[in-house]
Structure 1
């Protein structure tokens, strides 16, 4: 089985300091991985060793900026930092996970960096049967505590779900993860998993045991060596150390957010009291996530993805809120729909909204800004959604006038 990505392909010509290696790597990944689409992986920075699936013959993944489908990837190994050679492996994936095909513009972002090994656990039969989407299950091993300078994060994997889509599910090291937020994952072995949640909440589920991890804490599980039983590590959630998250490459994620500081002593005691009493870790304390960011297994009320008509799917729990699928792009974006890519499913037959114009490429209007972002002061054009609503209103008035004329 060939290994793609060799030392000679991308070898830098001079050594760099640790901060320089980090800066160079993240700038390269940010610039060259922007076009990564759904269920694709991008070569962000040297050095990566990729092994394609046995039946794949056309697999080009040896240079920074190379992009391949994750279905063609069997395994990926990233190099730890080496300041002599300038190596520090970075890869980016955008995965569908359990998002519906009707949301082609929404993806879960995975950023891998440093000493990381990833092995695809999803087969083609899994995809065809609908059990998993591409790379929705995988094995992960990472370095632990290996940052070489303050500017460098520890090796690991940063994951962010889209806004407003409820809980996203995937499987790491045979441990089910439910995530409605942004979190940092590490795994010293293939039989363990540690997560530090930066916003919202994550839930680890294994052998019918549920381990919630709210923002500001870290928690994990590992398999006992003398049995097939997973145990929590540490025994209870704890506040994460500031140095664990201070240098994470948050700029490579798709949306900005406010990082939850580590919980203080009183807040952590509240979390532990709730765990002991069985009360959900959400809702009525300002440092806890809203209940729609916590999995149902952990006592939350995550939103339900609407059907193509925007209604509750048949048989769903109507006491839970519907997901607001337009929050990802911010502003009043429900006036248009993201155009599907070549590998995405077509839009639903009941979809009547126009295709959203690419940001900055519409001559007569500008796209609404992201939440919390000020619109450009020197641009006098109206927002595109306002134009659309005005046109739609005029069409309705015209239809009303026509109807009145017919009655006469």
Structure 2
């Protein structure tokens, strides 16, 4: 069995031909200890030449946490493996302790990974079965039921799970045969944690009734992963057809195309978009609200569906994806000389020098910038007469939720421009140099 584990481990690592360093998430427990020892055996036998580094995350949740850290450091010294320790404090932020610790752990791993690094984690077949059942209990779809992938990108590197096809008992037997030393987390026996409850109360009964069920569940997870890949491919095609567009604030999709899809494909498209934008996925309640409030033919833009940091609105046959709290302009007038960006709520107003067709002001003039006031009127260049800002903003199709925060530029009390929508009569540079205005949303990484 020892040679079989080593041989299969070697075959798994052969798929990581692009990795230049192998980092092991090392808790000191049985599973990660076996993983680290397997790597070191392959290294010592000359079958693995890449540098191996252990990473230990000390969550400081147990009184024994520092003892576990010392154990890991001693084991790494004995195995001649460098170790990097990250001490972290878990903040629940409304989530369970398990979820909060897991998220912080992956954040730490992500920050440590460099280009060309592969992070090896010791999840095995039993972990996969527990994950599948936990997600099934939460009502997950194909993506969730695909459970843990063998590999995926993480930070600047790649996460890899080479032990997914091994059972926990196989790893235990190997560790005993190799006379290994490992630590036992005192919380592993607590049934207060969902995963421990499954491990100690549920899984043994399933194994007794259906021996080898974990392996068959892994096949089901693989089928769910294939189904999810097909759904993602269809969602990407639908996103292209729906004309995803970057807006002044957020993004938008063609509402008519969304309405032409089945309800299932709409939900599939929205989940794919949220994944691409690295935003929380909508649950069934939000999808029902979207169907009822935003996808029915109507002309107004009053409806909104919110979850997490995002809100959805519709306007002029587009469905908009916006920050939950839109950037608003300050309540009082601000002076601006056009030389530096003007902070405007969470965004900014900029002025760029252009050769022609810009804003022209007398030398040394300062502008006053504020929000629109009741009764405000102006005459954009090329218009025959002045009109109220309310009417003009409708004609220029500025989204209704931005109209109360659009910056209005005044010179000696007279409106000279509104945002980057128009310049008023008498303040255009014509064929001469002037300033091009730009009203920007907060910077984003898309």
TM-score of the superposition, structure 1-length normalised? 0.21
TM-score of the superposition, structure 2-length normalised? 0.20
Structure number with greater Rg is: 2
